[in-house]
Amino acid sequence: MIIDCHGHFTTAPPALGEWRNRQIAGLTDPRATPARDDLRISDADLRQSIEGNQLRLMDERGIDVTVFSPRASFMAHHLGDFTTSSQWAEICNDLCHRVAALYPERFAQAAMLPQSPGVDPATCLPELARCVEELGAVAVNLNPDPSGGHWTAPPLTDRSWYPIYEKMVEYGIPAMIHVSTSVNPAFHTTGAHYLNADTTAFMQLVQGDLFKDFPTLRFVLPHGGGAVPYHWGRFRGLAAALGKPPLEEHVLGNVYFDTCVYHQPGIDLLLDVIPARNILFASEMIGAVRDIDPCTGHHFDDTRRYVEAVKLPDAELDDIQERNARTVYPRLDALLTRQGR
Say if residue 177 is preceded by a cis peptide, omega within 30 of 0.
no
- Cβ-based burial of 248 (10 A; exposed 0-12, middle 13-18, buried ≥19): exposed
Residues 6+ apart with CB under 8 A from 47: 102
Distances 57 to 286, 292, 306 between C-alpha atoms, Å: 9, 13, 16
Q: How far is the C-alpha of 40 from the C-alpha of 242, rounded, in Å?
A: 53
DSSP secondary-structure letter at 144? Answer: S
Q: How far is the C-alpha of 36 from the C-alpha of 330, rounded, in Å?
A: 33
Distances 130 to 17, 81, 86, 137 between C-alpha atoms, Å: 23, 20, 12, 9
139-142: strand order across its sheet: 3-9, 65-70, 107-112, 139-142, 175-177, 219-221, 255-258, 279-280
Question: What SS3 state is found at 97?
Answer: helix
**Residue 314 CB neighbours (<10 A):** 7
Q: Of 51, 284, 316, 322, which one is the catalytic site residue?
A: 284
Active-site annotation holds for 284: yes
Residues 6+ apart with CB under 8 A from 10: 71, 286, 287
Q: How far is the C-alpha of 113 from the C-alpha of 140, rounded, in Å?
A: 7
252 HSE (CA, 13 A, CB side): 18
Which amino acids are annotated catalytic? 284
